[in-house]
Structure 1
Amino acid sequence: MEKDFLYVAISNNIASLIRNGVLKAGERLPSVRLLCQEHGIGMNTAKRVFLELEAQSLIESKPQSGYFVSPLPYQRLPLPEVSKPSLVSSPKEPYELIRKVYATMGRKDLMLFSIGAPSGELLPLSKLNKEIMYATRQLRGSGTEYEQLQGNESLRRMVAARSLSWGGNLREDDLVTTAGGMNALSFCMMALSKPGNTIAMESPCYPGSLQLARSLGLKVLELPTHPVTGVEIDALRKVVNKIDLCLLVPNFNTPLGSCMPDENKKEVVQLLAKHNIPLIEDDIYGDLYFGNQRPKCCKAFDTTGTVLWCSAVSKTLAPGYRVGWVAPGKYRDQIMKLKLVHAISSSTITQEAVANFLKTGRYENHLRKMRLTLQRNYQHYIDGIAEYFPKGTKTSRPQGGLALWVAFDKKVNTSELFDVALKQKICIAPGRMYTLQNQYENCMRFSLGLYWTDEVQHKLKQLGRLIAS
């Protein structure tokens, strides 16, 4: 297991150097023998490093010469521009479009490029089944009794312990469990707002968050967002006196996959705290990083208790278990009151099962494999888009998460493309879903969570033809 981890760490480090441009196309890499000497590893481990980098199309071998950095396909694909939403929402919301896309969930006859969750092939299903059985044996009443209001104590303890990896330093009493990530966001919005308040969000933004805010009678102010570094701080600073709360996805948000640098997170937290504006931080993708280290959360820079950190296992382990949590800072009592009124208790068995899975170390082993798979999937998509899609197609460059954002020529309308592609058994997520304004009609989001097969590649090629036509 340690050797496996070592080869993954070394290959991730070299991959990061290549993607960040430190190692450039055509440059020669150290030999297998030199890699062994530099890292104190055996020949087999060193060869696995190079095989992994080859599988990601980052390097190529030349007979009698060694390994060289490959030209990266995404370097031929331009980056989308910084978004430029207006301050006014459109009277026409994309509810019907969202309904059509989500109506395809679970359909086995479709290629679901649209659903932003990992497919079953990427999840440790047999191990999870064992944890469920173990939980029913360990729990009082076989799991039929109510859990305590704050949530499963073991789960909260494990989540608190894992917060050290991103600078959270949480305690189990700082956390309240919820029925998934959206439930956590819902409690936070309800606790912090009233109808007519204004909430600031990134643009484009996850449709569920937009629809939730609107259902609570909130005005949504969409902020300009960079496809690599996330929300534009200057834009937030200009409107900070006009908003009542803020919701951000700093780590690998959907649909852009952007990740805010640590200094930006710190600046945002300090800016909002200065104006006593709560920040709801959705960190549901934070564990799915492609590099060597998990990115920090905004909560790591919170000194006033104004950041409500939300997460779940819905995108990493078990979407259907509906196990999530929130560290609500100084708003803990409001969240607890809402949970009492709306839920009384979280699901007893699934919380216990997830807690045990985290406790045994199986979660970290699973995450390492899953991150590698998602990283490879990203490379497959980029290779396919560069080859099959029209010239001028632009793509984001996520360093983690499940989302890849693609922008086409303005003449391409992805809402119309949805209907055409569906007839070919292909389901896409049109860009108009991710905003309350009339924008992103020429964009779409791919999910990296599919299990990559020849059929997936074939459907991607077919989709490229539809777009070109």
Structure 2
Amino acid sequence: MTVMRYQQLAQTLRRQIDAQVWLPGEKLPSLRESCKQSGLSLMTVLQAYQLLESQGVIVSRPQSGYYVAPRQHVPVVHHAQSNLHAAEDIDVNDAIFNILKAGQDPDIVPFGSAFPDPTLFPQPRLARSLASAVRRMSPHSAIANLPPGNEELRRNIAQRYAQQGIEVTPDEIVITSGALESLGLSLQVVTQPGDWVAIESPAFYGVLQAIERRKLKAVAIPMDVQQGMDLQALEQALATYPIKACWLMSNFQNPLGCSMSAEKKQRLVEILEAHHVAIIEDDVYGELYFNGERPMPLKVSSYRQQILHCSSFSKCLAPGFRVGWVAAGAYASRIQRLQLMSTLSASVPVQLGLADFLHQGAYDAHLRRLRRQLELRQNAMRNKILKAFPPQVRVSQPSGGYFLWVYLGDKVDATRVYQQALARGISVAPGTMFAVDDRYRHSLRLNSSFEWNTRAEDAIKTLADIVFGEIERNKT
């Protein structure tokens, strides 16, 4: 059967869309531009576009042109008598990108931000350490500090593990460009495309993005807003799917803010060890505890060689420096090789600067001040929400970190609240950012780390007005 020219063009465009040359919502070249590029007639190009439109691949907008159609929701399998969700395809990047991009405007109240208030960190002192380290750099520093990274910095990190009673040697630690790189490398080293990974639900959206990039399949394990992962559901998932890894936050989980008890952590590790499942532990908020003692990570267990413990300085000391690490256990040498073949290494001057800062001995004093501020600001925001919002609204009360999880009630769509809030100069993080389906469409995540002042208080009042308005709208 002869393929017509318009069909050939349609096939070419579809391949480009599948390869993400053209992303959902992005405008395609105009008809006349396509004519010039392809050498085809206007009528032939129009037929190709109309064919793709009839297939639902693109959409036309009057007086504007043709655009790539939004992608369909992820196919999710619902299991009888279970809260487990299994998704063979993850597609979240577009929605997350749009939400995060909207929050970059300095005039926006940044309740939707994932980053802590930058004014909480000792920037002048960090700058002096960085300048001092750069002055002392040798010409061979770039080579000497290739993976696993700067020896002094790794030794400092190993000493902090030792203070918690965790046996981690400097050779087991690989310095990375932030925690996201350490988490991505960890996922890559313990899985192959097509493998199943157990994740939290709701989950930090970086998990969803990493799984999407890696072409993995996810089993979402439900979370309790106070106690963390549902271990019974985890056991059911392990009995149902050939899970290779479990990625989770046991301390101050993003977005819920919950932490698992020591007993529950021990049971979790026992379950995963019995099934020979690698653990990727995201512990970037572990230093931000409000009580007197740092919560222990899963890495403390006897299964620690199969636990890839990932953290960074981004949430507690130097957000802009983008330096993290993974205590990789049995996978350390493989992580090093993967890093050499991808990003090569974390920034050498920044590694040296952080090592200098830690050597000065001011880190723990800074952390004590930071924790006090975060606790005061979280309490102020939480109390204002409870006073200003409708009685049906429920707010989490984490014992660390800087996120509040706000359930708005079954009649309130958090995405509509997000859209209206953004139009009024306030960013929030709707619950749909943290799952592959819409089960958290009635919840928001709010960042409580920023200074509590009149601007922040007025923003909470505005959010409350929007929520009241949505409740009234749904009554009619």
- The verdict on a shared fold, with TM-score over 0.5 as the criterion, is yes
AA aligned to 1:367 is L
- 1:277 alignment partner in structure 2: 277
- 2:166 alignment partner in structure 1: 168
- Hey, what's the Cα distance between the residues in 1 that align with 2:290 and 2:236? 33
Q: How does 1:106-117 map to 2 (within 5 A)?
A: 106-117=104-115
- 1:137 alignment partner in structure 2: 135
Q: Secondary structure at the match of 1:247?
A: strand
| Alpha carbons of structure 1 residues 90 and 337: separation in structure 2 relative to 1, 3 Å | closer
Does 2:304 correspond to 1:326?
A: no
Q: Which has the larger radius of gyration?
A: 2
Q: How does 1:193-212 map to 2 (within 5 A)?
A: 193-212=191-210
Q: Is the 8 A contact 1:89 1:437 kept in 2?
A: no
Q: Is the 8 A contact 2:252 2:285 kept in 1?
A: yes
AA aligned to 2:222 is P
- Displacement of 1:417: 1.5
Does 2:190 correspond to 1:192?
A: yes
TM-score by length of 1: 0.79
- Hey, what's the Cα distance between the residues in 1 that align with 2:143 and 2:90? 45
Moved more, 210-219 or 234-243: 234-243
Q: Secondary structure at the match of 2:87?
A: coil
Q: Is the 8 A contact 1:90 1:437 kept in 2?
A: no
Q: Secondary structure at the match of 2:139?
A: helix
- 1:7 alignment partner in structure 2: none
Q: How does 1:213-232 map to 2 (within 5 A)?
A: 213-232=211-230
AA aligned to 1:320 is G
Does 2:460 correspond to 1:457?
A: no
AA aligned to 2:149 is G
Does 2:175 correspond to 1:177?
A: yes
- 1:100 alignment partner in structure 2: 98
- Displacement of 1:259: 0.6
AA aligned to 1:456 is A
- 2:153 alignment partner in structure 1: 155
| Alpha carbons of structure 1 residues 329 and 157: separation in structure 2 relative to 1, 3 Å | same
Q: Is the 8 A contact 1:279 1:308 kept in 2?
A: yes
Moved more, 347-356 or 98-107: 98-107
| Alpha carbons of structure 1 residues 167 and 237: separation in structure 2 relative to 1, 3 Å | farther
- 1:234 alignment partner in structure 2: 232
- Displacement of 1:195: 1.3
TM-score by length of 2: 0.78
Does 2:438 correspond to 1:438?
A: yes
- Hey, what's the Cα distance between the residues in 2 that align with 1:393 and 1:90? 33
- CA displacement, residues 356-383 of structure 1 (integer Å, 9 cap, x when unaligned): 2222221111111110111011101111
- 1:338 alignment partner in structure 2: 338
- 2:365 alignment partner in structure 1: 365
- Hey, what's the Cα distance between the residues in 2 that align with 1:285 and 1:267? 22
- CA displacement, residues 312-337 of structure 1 (integer Å, 9 cap, x when unaligned): 01111112211000011111122111
Q: Is the 8 A contact 1:251 1:283 kept in 2?
A: yes
- 2:125 alignment partner in structure 1: 127
- 2:244 alignment partner in structure 1: 244
Q: Is the 8 A contact 1:111 1:426 kept in 2?
A: yes
- CA displacement, residues 281-300 of structure 1 (integer Å, 9 cap, x when unaligned): 01100000000000001000
- Hey, what's the Cα distance between the residues in 2 that align with 1:92 and 1:415? 20
- Displacement of 1:105: 4.3
- Hey, what's the Cα distance between the residues in 1 that align with 2:233 and 2:144? 45
- Hey, what's the Cα distance between the residues in 2 that align with 1:363 and 1:378? 22
Listed as ranges, the gaps of 5+ residues in structure 1 are 1-83
- Displacement of 1:143: 6.0
Q: Is the 8 A contact 1:122 1:451 kept in 2?
A: no
- Displacement of 1:385: 0.6
- Hey, what's the Cα distance between the residues in 2 that align with 1:299 and 1:263? 14
| Alpha carbons of structure 1 residues 146 and 174: separation in structure 2 relative to 1, 3 Å | closer
- Displacement of 1:141: 3.3
- Displacement of 1:458: 1.2
Give the paired residue count.
386
AA aligned to 1:412 is V
- 1:69 alignment partner in structure 2: none
